[in-house]
Structure 1
């Protein structure tokens, strides 16, 4: 009974605590915060992927740092390409073969690619074996594929052990 009411008890406690820290402590806020702490995890529970568990948390922290650096560096690279007077962009669509499995790790990979300026995740194939990516400039398609696989996909496979 309690599992159905509180599918994610830790998340519920965190939600109530954050709600009370952000608002005045009063009976109304306590009741509203508790109601939200019950409803939000209850709605979100079916969306969670029970198979996606971080097995290497320190590797995950390094991955986040690496992605943040890549975002900053890519911003400058894209700005440099666009602001050149005679920029010759070679945009294109590539198909990235995937070794990664699991909906959550695949979503992280697609989000990482889309967050990095110059690339956007377009779609997954039906069997989730390919990720289609639009790139602003492609010098060498295979080099871009290798870069994404080694820089992003391999660390995610380590982090989630999939």
Structure 2
């Protein structure tokens, strides 16, 4: 993929321009030019701090994956509500170490966010070698099953959807 030094993130530049136009709620030449300027200069100034986003290999699978994540969030909310409102003896909290196949920092961050967005689990850390993700689960009666489910439901699809190489 060819990148221009003067336009480090063209997609982000267009997104920022669009957000500017939506925030101002006026479509005029002045606001369009200011939006284009902001869309150009903000990524240019922040390029050292932005991580590379791998190319989406399968966009339809990405859409289906997002629907699955939203569904999992709804189901997990109901499960956590039932656990919290029930007797404390039903809770099986645990810290769980999940071995990672993903090496890409964007996908690792995405996976950690998905885990944290799903009620009942929160990502607590990543080892310095990026090989193990530590997470806390509110209810983990079977740790091996939880690890297998996370790898099957989230890690494997991310590797399939995005162009990146696993270990």
Q: TM-score, normalised by structure 1?
A: 0.87
Alignment deviations for residues 56-105 of structure 1 (CA, whole Å, 9 cap, x no partner): 11111111000000000000000001111454312110100111121011
Q: Answer whether contact 1:16 1:30 (CA < 8 A) is retained.
A: yes
1:36 matched to 2:10? The reply is no
Q: Answer whether contact 1:81 1:87 (CA < 8 A) is retained.
A: no
1:66 matched to 2:68? The reply is yes
1:8 matched to 2:3? The reply is no
Q: Distance in 2 between matches of 1:104 and 1:134?
A: 21
RMSD: 2.1
Structure 1 residue aligned with 2:127:
125
Q: Distance in 1 between matches of 2:18 and 2:102?
A: 36
Runs of 4+ aligned residues of structure 1 deviating over 6 Å after TM superposition are: none
Moved more, 143-152 or 14-23: 14-23
**Which residue of the other structure, out of 49, 52, 55, is the alignment partner of 2:52?**
49
Moved more, 62-71 or 24-33: 24-33
Alignment deviations for residues 95-121 of structure 1 (CA, whole Å, 9 cap, x no partner): 001111210111111111001000000
Deviation at 1:43, TM superposition (A): 3.2
Structure 2 residue aligned with 1:115:
117
Instruction: Count residues with an aligned counterpart.
Output: 160
**Which residue of the other structure, out of 158, 161, 166, is the alignment partner of 1:159?**
161
Q: Distance in 2 between matches of 1:117 and 1:152?
A: 15
Q: TM-score, normalised by structure 2?
A: 0.85
Question: Gapped runs of 5+ residues in structure 1?
Answer: none
Q: Answer whether contact 1:6 1:38 (CA < 8 A) is retained.
A: yes
